[in-house]
Amino acid sequence: MATPSARICKGSECVTHGIRITVDPHYLPSHSDPENSRYLFNYKVAMHNEGESCARLRSRKWIIVDSAGERHEVQGLGVVGHHPKLSPGEKFEYSSFCPLQTAWGTMQGMYVMERDDGSLFEVEIARFFLIGPHQ
């Protein structure tokens, strides 16, 4: 009987204040140039409102660390030009990219969300791994 191969889990999933964030990253070899220390990763994010009230995404903050220990913070309004409003049970998905100068690294962060009453709250984006060739 064949032994199943080990699978490296590199994505993440986390629920904060009823908002589930799932991230699925992928290395893009056709857009990378390892000989020149350029590695490009795509990550797909799904946010699902499992709570009982509406929430609108206002801003994001990412912390990106490469394998050499270089740390970068990226902040901005919305995601990919959107400020999705999620009613209970609704889901929003988007894709984005992250370039690194090393073959692997990590990302984590948070979204600032707003309830209908104007109150703000933070939603965690759990750490996930960006794993390139030969890692």
Distance in angstroms (rounded) separating the CA atoms of residues 98 and 38: 11
> How distant, in Å, are the alpha carbons of 34, 40, 73, 112, 123 from that of 118?
46, 37, 26, 12, 16
pLDDT in tens, 89-131: 999 999 999 999 999 999 999 999 999 999 999 999 999 999 9
Q: Which tokens go with 91?
A: 């889901």
Q: Please compute Rg for the chain using Cα positions.
A: 16
Q: Are 112 and 122 in contact (CB under 8 A)?
A: yes
Closest listed residue to residue 102, CA positions, set 76, 74, 130, 61: 130
User: pLDDT, tens digit, for every residue of 24-76?
Assistant: 999 999 999 999 999 999 999 999 999 999 999 999 999 999 999 999 999 99
| Domain boundaries 12-131, CATH class | mainly beta
**pTM, entire model:** 0.89
Tokens of 39: 């590695």
Enumerate the domain spans of the chain: 12-131
Strand arrangement, sheet containing 91-100: 12-16, 19-27, 39-49, 91-100
Report the alpha-carbon angle 124-125-128, nearest 5. Answer: 145
Residue 32's identity, in one-letter code, is: S
